Amino acid sequence: MNHLKFNNPVIKGFYPDPSICKVGDTYYLACSSFQFFPGVPLFESKDLINWEPIGHALTRPSQIMLEKVNSSGGVFAPTIRHNNGRFYMTTTNDTTRQNFIVWTDDIYGEWSEPIFIEQGGIDPDLYFEGDRVFFMSNGSDEDGRGVILQCEIDIATGNMLTPSHPLWKGTGGRYLESPHMYKINDWYYLMAAEGGTEFGHMITYARSKLLHGPFEAYPHNPVLTNRNLGGYEIQAIGHGDLIQDGEGNWWIFHLGFRQIGQWIPFHHLGREVFLAPVTFHEDGWFTAGHDGTTRREFETDRIGEHVVQQEKKLYTFGNTKRDLEWVYLRHPRLENYKLQEDQLTLTGTAVTLDQADTPTFLAIRQREFNAVITSVVALSGSGEAGITLYMDESHHYDLAIRKRNDQLEAVLRLNIGDIKHVQSVVAIEADQAAKLRIESSPVQYSFSIEVNGQTIPLGTAQTKYLSSEVAGGFTGVVIGLYAVGEDTVADFTKFACEYL
């Protein structure tokens, strides 16, 4: 049989905390979204390698409170499951400290209003067995040590039918989280993440013959981690979910990130979706990846030779859909947005990018290190509009045009923590459309503006200052088109993000 090579990540850019289920011959995957809206992006695939966005689970403000939530607050890790013809998604609003479930009978349509669960913690999981439903999340025991908790719930109301029961305390790594329960053959497997979602991240698991334990840890934990691959591009492997394909093979989908250089341990594209093969052995234990690690490339005979890994290189207004690939900050005022085939018109407000609020802002995730991002911007009013490389309200690089005393000027502003620095300002002719251009490499962004056929450089900035290692938090850089100013209207045309 021919071997297929596939490359990781299989979903690129800021799509953390993947969870997966299978219905018929189709796989469905959900990711976390934090302060961005709509919440919990959804994907589908026929082959585990190529994934298409199909929507979001949280599309209405009534489903999720995001009003002025801090960056990296809001929607934490989801679990997606399918049972008796119905999809269920459970997640945490970490800002309100509430776990909840939404459901749908049509994954391409709307999901239900939230059903809240009293058990606390984060990273909730659902396990169905017959007519019973069990809910798991992380928590603490009486000594303050991390533990996975389980209760039985009424799936229709969210009511707890049993008290929370401690299942497993992990292997001793910090931040025990991401529980997922599976019944495979005669064993219950409980998989989790430990070590924190940084360079020490790892996937561990335990098993039991009984649903409520006691659970015995896999003797060679962690089953999957890159924590000892110093200098390797892919790091922070953890937070996994198992899936069996149509041929009976097992796989694990999990998060990881790509650091910007071999000896430059920073990442700014966010945590992404990775895939590794899983092998069950005669003794009932399973192993994963390449000697317990996830590699950039896997060669396998488990995927049909007809499968070709597709890679989209160009993103424009015309070949993307606003409700699938573009996101807002928190709950948008939709009357301020008008997107046509090749034009986006934004109406500004007084809210700026520096506030934990809802500026006029529409963004798409940065998916690769090497890119060229361009858009023509025409401005009316006294405010500003442009392209922002946005990590959070304290860490973003803004390339914009603005009005100052009836003079139009281009500006490059670097926002790094408490430092708000205007790198350069260039006057341009009033009432003139300008083409903004950003060139991205793993370690640097370069900014310029094109007017009258002339390219004017405005400066450079290092990518690492937009990384999670500097900014903190759990998100990644998004490419935002924005407008600020109550009398400001901006037309964006010929937007393109081309990956090299």
Catalytic residues: 17, 177
| DSSP code for 62 | G
Q: Are 230 and 293 in contact (CB under 8 A)?
A: no
3-state secondary structure of 34: strand
Q: Are strands 360-365 and 444-451 parallel, antiparallel or unpaired?
A: unpaired
CA distance 321 to 326: 7
Alpha carbon distance 396, 414 (integer Å): 7
Beta strands 407-416 and 286-288 are unpaired
Cis amide prior to 222 (ω within 30 degrees): yes
The b/e string for 280-318 (b: 16+ C-beta within 10 A; e otherwise) is beeeebbebbeebbbbeebeeebbeeeeeeeeeeebebe
Q: What is the rounded distance in angstroms from the CA atom of residue 87 to the CA atom of residue 83?
A: 7
H or E element at residue 439: strand 434-440
Q: Do residues 364 and 320 lie in contact, with contact meaning Cβ atoms separated by under 8 Å?
A: yes
Which residues does 483 contact at the CB level (< 8 Å), separation at least 6?
A: 336, 346, 347, 348, 360, 383, 384, 385, 489, 490
Alpha-carbon distance of 255 to 258, in angstroms, equals 10
Dihedral angle sign, alpha carbons of residues 83, 88, 90, 96: negative
Q: How many CB atoms lie within 10 A of CB 228?
A: 11
